[in-house]
Amino acid sequence: MSEGILIKGGRILDPGQGLDRIGDLLITDGKITRFGDKGAIPPEGFHALDANGLIVCPGFIDLHCHLREPGFEEKETIATGTRAATRGGFTTICCMSNTNPPLDNRAAVDYVKAKAETQGTVRVLPIGCITKGRKGEELTEMAELAEAGVIAFSDDGEPVVNSAIMCHALDYASALGLMVIDHCEDRALTNGGLMNEGWVATRLGLKGIPAAAEEIMVARDLALARLTKARLHIAHITTEGSVDLIHRAKEKGILVTAEVTPHHLTLTEDRVMGWHWGKNNITYDTNAKVNPPLRTSKDIDALIRGVKLGIIDAIATDHAPHTLTDKMCEFGIAAFGISGLETAFGCLMSLVPDGKLDLVTLISKLTAEPAKIIGTKYRELGTLKISAPADITLFDPTKEWIVDSHNFASKGKNTPFDGYRFKGKIMATIFGGKIVYKDDSVKLEIKQ
Amino acid sequence: MKTTQPRDKPNVIPETFPPPQISIWRHQHILDLDSFTKEEIDLVFEITDAMMEVLGREIKKVPTLRGTTVATVFYEPSTRTRASFELAAKNLSTDVVNLDIPKSSVTKGESFLDTLRTLQALGVDVIVLRHSQSGAPYLAAQHLDISIINGGDGWHAHPTQALLDLYTLRRHFGDLTGLKVVIIGDILHSRVARSNIWGMSIMGCKVVLCAPPTLLPRELDNFIIRCHLSGISKEYKLEAALQEADVIMPLRLQFERQQSRLLPSLREYIQLYQLNSKRLSLAKPNALVLHPGPINEDVEISPEVAHSAQSVIEEQVTNGVAVRMALLYLITRGKR
């Protein structure tokens, strides 16, 4: 077992327990074992991590990321993806099923788990496919996948088009106590769309994806969730209309949860024209090409309101790493996706000084709330309670840093935030009692 | 073959050439008209006038850009734009390389940028690029040091076409301010319309976009507001749009628009939107008819209108060579 670590003098923030105070936290044997006032725990016998000026919170949980392994190791591996997670403050990440082969069978799930065990640096929880081959035709052997340890079912980028299949999936999954996650998109409406249908798409001559393409599918899924009384989780919502639909559904008692990504909370469609677009310097920035697309400031306002009011339960990265060649090409053929694990926190913190979001809500959407969604099997996640796994993130809310994708641990350098200055930085990440990431400036006294 | 040209007119063009206002030119590339000012477009017109003079000579060739190499790189088939650029370049004594890239290679793995970088390494000075993907010339301009001329990209822009349209109007009307232009048809998928919207708005025209709603961008109004474009409006009914029109430009209707269910039938499109003699009579008596070509006679335009005295479709083609000569001159001038 690892040596004990005493985290000294930080502001301990655990929204799940309503805890927010300066104090010391002791970790031994991979678990949180003691909590006390500043200086109350005798430091003898432990490594000491100086957390003065830092906020100490439960390790972040990402409900939605793409680790690409097996099948697309040139984009990301479980080793590089989990290292990226540690740099972003995440200690638990749920990886999506769109690998090759997809996670539609026990062997593939076992492979991911084994890789994560041997090469990963954080907890990896796989999400299994709803249908075989993600084709939307036949259900996977969900019970076996559940036994293999998947925490949910999703065909990820492939929405289940056939409503009857989706209905069966919800019914079947509910007996296993697991949720179904849907990527909501009406493909007939999207039909080759490349970005939000708006003024920018009109200007750039790019085919648009209307908000309705998402909302139609959200509405259908909500109707099916009501019918089946099953647990539904809506991935990466982006529109005001989706927020309204989910709001109404929750009021009716439908068992639905929803997530939003950091980029949809902070960037608009304008970003596709480049960093500082103006009259004379527009570009077609493939790093801002993502599905669902970046929307409008009106949508952002609705999403933030949704986060505040609890209509949106969690913030998830939808970390989608791609190679340089996937992105350095014509906009129309470039891959969709943003490499998001390492910028998520900095990006989200930009909402705090603006007063758009308070820090406690923000941390709760990265810790206690996603833990609740994952469910009882891992109920000790996302908390700093005594005897919970010592998954802890330390951050400095005032430290400024500039995003440089060259420094990413992720293989995917595809970020629209390259060169952005963020205030708020992850300083250390502890997983299972081990320090898996630490900024050089954080002082660690090693026990002699 | 190269040194046997008669030397009787060694320097381009009139003594007054180039005009002093050439100092305002700052474009390395021609990507779209959204980055142009009215003064810059006027300058293009001035230089084009000089090129028209060259085209009127018995020997339509001047040594102005000798030693410059132009590559036309077409990822989409085209006969007229390609030929127009090639002749423009040759009239200025540049060397021309033509590359036709089959559509099948517009996929990942056969890198667009690699092809263009190779041309740059081979010593090409200007690339004229036609591509089915909107924005491809911007990608090229971002990663290459040589000049890029957009010869049409996806639905986005066709700036040289818009400039030749504007030049044609200037030859007939002089001042373009306040001219009412009606563009009819598939605005949604038209790079010609998009570039003309910018160009005509900059030159002070009033532009009416006339099409069924399925062929107009849904966010057109928002686009007009956010881009601060003045004088642009839309109208579904052609008869209403044509009132008091000075210029009418029907666009080519791609047959695939009906296949993709944007139109109920070709028949209904023709009934509602074809420019025929009867409809032409609703415009001003001397209204000009332009068309970016190639024409679908009997679809967007009736043959009698296409070949009427009001039609300047052939003149557009001639003016296109002169405009492209002017643009080649302007963007390579710095190196001379």
Count other Cβ atoms within 10 Å, centred on residue B102.
9
Tell me the per-residue pLDDT of A305-348, one tens digit each, with 9 for 90 and over: 999 999 999 999 999 999 999 999 999 999 999 999 999 999 99
B77 versus A224: the higher-pLDDT residue is A224
Q: A205–B227: do the CB atoms touch at under 8 Å?
A: no
- SS3 per residue for chain B: CCCCCCCCCCCCCCCCCCCHHHHHCCCCCECCHHHCCHHHHHHHHHHHHHHHHHHCCCCCCCCCCCCCEEEEEECCCCCHHHHHHHHHHHHCCCEEEEEECCHHHCCCCCCHHHHHHHHHHCCCCEEEEEECCCCHHHHHHHHCCCEEEEEEECCCECHHHHHHHHHHHHHHHCCCCCCEEEEECCCCCCHHHHHHHHHHHHCCCEEEEECCHHHCCCCHHHHHHHCCCCCEEEECCHHHHHCCCCEEEECCCCCHHHHCCCCCCHHHHHHHHCECHHHHCCCCCCCEECCCCCCCECCCECHHHHCCCCECHHHHHHHHHHHHHHHHHHHHHHHC
For residue A386, being part of any structural domain is answered with: no
Domain B20-158+318-335 and domain B160-312 have a common topology: yes
pLDDT at A1 over 50: no
CA distances from A147 to A90, A95, A113, A166, A171 (A): 25, 17, 13, 21, 17
Q: Check: CATH 3.10.105.10 for B160-312?
A: no
Q: What mean pLDDT do residues A201-217 have?
A: 98
Tokens linked to B275: 């420019």
In a domain? residue A385: no
Report whether pLDDT(A354) > 90: no
Given pLDDT bands bounded at 50, 70 and 90, which one contains residue A177?
A: very high
Q: What's the confidence (pLDDT) of residue A46?
A: 92
Predicted TM-score of the model (pTM): 0.94
Of A151, A88, A52, A123, the C-alpha closest to A390 is A123
Q: How confident is the model at residue A268 (pLDDT cuts 50, 70, 90)?
A: very high
Distance CA B277, CA A368 (A): 72
Percent of chain B with pLDDT over 70: 92
What's the CATH code of the domain at A110? 3.20.20.140
pLDDT in tens, B251-307: 999 877 777 889 999 999 999 999 999 999 999 999 999 999 899 999 999 999 999
Q: Where in the sequence is the domain holding A24, given as residue range(s)?
A: 5-55+391-445
Judging contacts by C-beta atoms under 8 Å, the chain B residues touching residue A332 are 133-135, 154
Residues of B in contact with A207 (CB under 8 A): 155
**B93 pLDDT band (50/70/90 cuts)?**
very high
Q: What total of structural domains would you count in chain A? A: 2
CB contact under 8 A, B155 and A198: no
Core vs surface per residue A59-84: b (16+ CB within 10 A) or e: bbbbbbbbbbbbebeebbbbbbbbbb
Q: According to the model, what pLDDT value does residue B14 have?
A: 60
Q: How confident is the model at residue B334 (pLDDT cuts 50, 70, 90)?
A: low
- Name chain B contacts of A208, Cβ cutoff 8 Å: 218-219
C-alpha angle B19/B20/B22, rounded to 5°? 80
Minimal-distance CA residue of chain A relative to B155: A205
A199, A326: one domain: yes
Question: Is A316 in the same domain as A209?
Answer: yes
Contact B135 A204 (CB under 8 A): yes
For position A39, what pLDDT does the model report? 87
Q: Assess B219–A contact: CB distance below 8 Å, yes or no.
A: yes
What are the extents of the domains in chain B? 20-158+318-335, 160-312
β-pairing verdict for A31-36 and A19-28 = antiparallel
Would you call B227 an interface residue with chain A, using a CB distance cutoff of 8 Å? yes
Flag whether pLDDT at B336 surpasses 70.
no
* Distance between A201 CA and the closest CA of chain B, angstroms: 9
Rounded to two decimals, the ipTM of the complex is 0.93
Give pLDDT, residue B259. Answer: 73
Query: B interface mutation test: which of A330, A331, A333, A336 has the most B CBs within 10 A?
Result: A330
In chain B, residues 127-146 whose CB comes closer than 8 Å to chain A:
131, 133-136, 138-139, 142
Domain end call among A344, A378, A412: A378
- Rounded-to-integer distance, Cα B23 and Cα A49, Å: 64
Which one of B218, B220, B259, B260 makes the best mutation probe of the A interface by having the most chain A beta carbons within 10 Å?
B218
Residues A301 and A404 in one domain: no
Mean pLDDT score of chain A, rounded to an integer? Answer: 95
How far, in Å, are B30, B89, B93, B137, B254 from residue B96 at the CA level?
18, 7, 9, 19, 31
Residues B137-192: tens digit of each pLDDT: 999 999 999 999 999 999 999 999 999 999 999 999 999 999 999 999 999 999 99
Q: Could you give the percent of chain A with pLDDT greater than 70?
A: 98
* Partners of residue B156 in chain A, C-beta under 8 Å: 204-206
Which CATH architecture describes the domain B20-158+318-335?
3-Layer(aba) Sandwich (3.40)
CATH number of the domain encompassing residue A422: 2.30.40.10
Segment (H or E) for A380: none
Residue of A198, A208, A333 with shortest CB distance to B133: A333
Instruction: Choose among A201, A207, A333: nearest Cβ to B108.
Output: A333
Q: Flag if A330 and B139 touch (Cβ within 8 Å).
A: yes
CB contact under 8 A, A202 and B223: yes
- Give me A297's structure tokens: 């400031």
Asked if the structure places residue A384 within a domain, the reply is no
- Given B113, B133, B220, which is nearest A202 (Cβ)? B220
What pLDDT does residue A186 have? Answer: 97
Q: Which residue does chain B place closest to A332, by CA atoms?
A: B133
Residues A156 and A237 both lie in one domain? yes
CA–CA distance, B18 with B23 (Å, rounded to integer): 10
Domain boundary among A329, A350, A378: A378
Please tell me whether residues A99 and A190 are part of one structural domain.
Answer: yes
Which residues of A sit within 8 Å Cβ distance of B?
197-199, 201-208, 210, 279-280, 282-284, 325-326, 328-333
Interface test with B, best of A74, A196, A202, A268 (most B CBs within 10 A): A202
Last residue of a domain, one of A355, A378, A401: A378
Residue B1: band (very low, low, confident or very high) from pLDDT cuts 50, 70, 90 = very low
Band (pLDDT 50/70/90 cuts) for residue B10 is very low
- CA B11 from chain centre, in angstroms, equals 28
Residue A448 has a pLDDT of 64
Note whether A432 and A27 are within 8 A (CB).
no
Residues of B in contact with A333 (CB under 8 A): 106-108, 133
Mean pLDDT of the residues in chain B: 92
In chain B, what residues touch A193 (CB-CB under 8 Å)? none
The answer to whether A428 and A87 are in contact (CB under 8 A) is no
Q: How confident is the model at residue A3 (pLDDT cuts 50, 70, 90)?
A: confident
A70 preceded by a cis bond (ω within 30 of 0): yes
- Please tell me whether residues A26 and A165 are part of one structural domain: no
Select the residue from B25, B132, B223 to test the A interface by mutation, using most A Cβ atoms within 10 A. B223
pLDDT number for residue A276 = 65
pLDDT digits (tens, 9 = 90+) for B104-141: 565 554 689 999 999 999 999 999 999 999 999 999 99
**Catalytic site residues of A?**
318
Q: How many residues does chain B have?
A: 336
Let me know whether A43 and A92 are in one domain: no
A277 in a structural domain: yes
